[in-house]
Chain A
Amino acid sequence: MELEEAKEKIVEVLTKKAKTKSKFYFNDLSKILDLKPREAKKLVTKLIETEVLEYWSSGSTTMYGLKGMGKQASAEHED
């Protein structure tokens, strides 16, 4: 899968769900891409590097979201 296609798919699904939640597990992303985890990871890493996605970490668990989306930014005084 090309990066552009991956970006389109992920942005579409995450935007659609943005009203209820903004953070997703890695597994959710590989399901959206319909790829094995290792293949999905390569694309997700690129999306992080191109600032489409950003990480959110609970310390023990990591989640992914569209950059700047969601309520965390203001709750954490990082907006």
Chain B
Amino acid sequence: MAKHETPLLDQLESGPWPSFVSDMKQEAAARAKNEKNVEYQIPQDVVEDLLGVLELSYADGTTHWKHGGIVGVFGYGGGVIGRYCDQPETFPGVAHFHTMRVAQPAGKFYKTDYLKKLCDLWGFRGSGLTNMHGSTGDIILLGTTTPQLEEIFYELTHNFNQDLGGSGSNLRTPADCIGQARCEYACYDTQDLCHTLTEEYQDELHRPAFPYKFKFKFDGCPNCCVASIARSDMSFIGTWKDDIRIDQDAVKGYVNGDFPPNAGAHAGRDWGPFDIQKEVIDLCPTECMRYEDGKLEINNKECTRCMHCINVMPRALRPGKETGCSILVGAKAPILDGAQMGSLLVPFVEVNKEDGYAAIKEVIEAIWDWWMEEGKNRERLGELMKRQGFQRLLEVTGIKPVAQHVQEPRTNPYIFWKEDEVEGGWDRDINEFRKTHLR
């Protein structure tokens, strides 16, 4: 018998999509049964009480959680989010229900021995409920009590060789796309860059000294599967400088209908036979392609690398060989002054594993120095850029302004000239002036 009746939640068990309610119920039952005789370190009926409090929210349309800011592991300013239930007497199992963020491996590949061990730990010392994964990318362990936080951290670091992720005013756990591990579009090794920088900046990740949160995300190509351009303070997007590689025979294959366009992504509807003119050439945003006499030509100099033609004909077209990444900075969600997309700061930088990504680190650290000194409390990098201007960003990073930095030049002429930019400076002699201009 369930501890709490859940008539509203029960209605979310039907339908084809995996039901989180059914999953919670199976976890509640597994804990009640406790086949392996686990000495549970938090209440055995924690999941039943979570079902109970969630049912209450479904009935009264409001949350029953309160925030807690003190709890954490010693010496770290992030990685734990404190939660308390506002109905602790009815649902004592979830009175304290803190979250732990565990740093996920780059690319989110796992071996089952690791995951099973993590499950054992979390069933024993926590609720047995997780998010795989949180929005930023961490493994989220949902729900444990205050005394267990240090115990879990001790076990993770000593027995799993595993650290927590970030929260608060620090570097958040960086995240990447699948990259070269299994994607032919990836222009650099997103996993290696993500992992290397995560390790390099552990202090920034655990000990908050920034004005606000800071995110790195790594996309292997301009398709941006990890959405770096929209949600990371620094977005590293794979790109290339040379020519798109063309296999003319494969182009013919697509034209002849031997291969499905867009890697079969449109197979659910009859769109008619593939028409290279209509589907590739005419959709090219820079109009830099043509298909004549059975041959595809690309004027690569005019290409802006949007990926459309490559996406449509992956067997025929590949990114160039001179690859690296563009760095865009300042993206954020709307709170507070409106959403900001990342702005292009570094059009191209080599992603050089051999020298430990020195060129990339140089940009990162110059930006941090600026933001740490000039950023107001709770001001994201993008907001500081808005307040002090893109020109200031170029100054502090020592990057030369190029036309690629703008969508269009300014529409007002109100240039704040600096004195040293103007011939002869600003100090003038009034007497000289008066020789030719009477009072």
Contacts and interface: CB of A to CB of B under 8 A. Distances in A.
Contacts of A78: 68, 70-71, 82, 146
A57 B377 contact: no
B70 A62 contact: no
A73 B68 CA distance: 9
A48 B210 CA distance: 16
A61 interface: yes
A37 B369 CA distance: 8
Taking each of B66, B67, B84, B169, which has the highest tally of chain A beta carbons within 10 Å of its own beta carbon? Answer: B169
B165 interface: no
B78 A62 contact: yes
A21 B216 CA distance: 33
B387 to A, nearest CB: 15
Nearest to A58: B69
A62 B67 contact: no
Nearest to A76: B68
A41 B170 CA distance: 12
A59 B168 contact: yes
Interface residues of A, number: 27
Contact of A57 (B75, B168, B372, B373): B168
Contacts of A56: 69-70
B209 to A, nearest CB: 4
A62 B77 contact: yes
B218 interface: no
Interface string B79-107: 01110100000000000100000000000
A38 B372 contact: yes
A58 B168 contact: yes
Interface size range of chain B in the complex: 20 to 34
B209 A61 contact: no
B207 interface: yes
Interface string B189-221: 000000000000000000111111100000000
Nearest to B99: A59
B72 interface: yes
A26 B208 contact: yes
Interface in B54-73: 66-72
A49 B169 contact: no
Interface string A38-79: 101100110011000011111111110000000011001110
A56 B167 CA distance: 11
Nearest to A41: B209
Contacts of B210: 26
A58 B130 CA distance: 21
Contacts of A77: 84, 96
Contact of A61 (B84, B96, B169, B372): B169
A60 B70 contact: no
B378 interface: yes
Interface string B203-247: 000011111110000000000000000000000000000000000
B65 to A, nearest CB: 12
A37 B372 contact: yes
Interface in B348-394: 369, 372-373, 376-378
A63 to B, nearest CB: 8
A26 B208 CA distance: 8
Contacts of A45: 75, 207
Given A55-B208, A60-B378, A78-B70, 11 more contacts: A27-B211, A45-B207, A55-B77, A56-B69, A57-B72, A57-B81, A57-B167, A59-B168, A60-B212, A76-B84, A77-B96
5 contacts: A41-B207, A58-B168, A59-B67, A77-B96, A78-B71
Interface of B: 66-72, 75-78, 80-82, 84, 96, 146, 167-170, 207-213, 369, 372-373, 376-378
Interface of A: 25-27, 36-38, 40-41, 44-45, 48-49, 54-63, 72-73, 76-78
User: Which 9 pairs across A and B sit closest by C-beta, in order of nearness?
Assistant: A62-B168, A62-B208, A37-B372, A55-B77, A56-B69, A62-B169, A57-B168, A41-B209, A76-B68
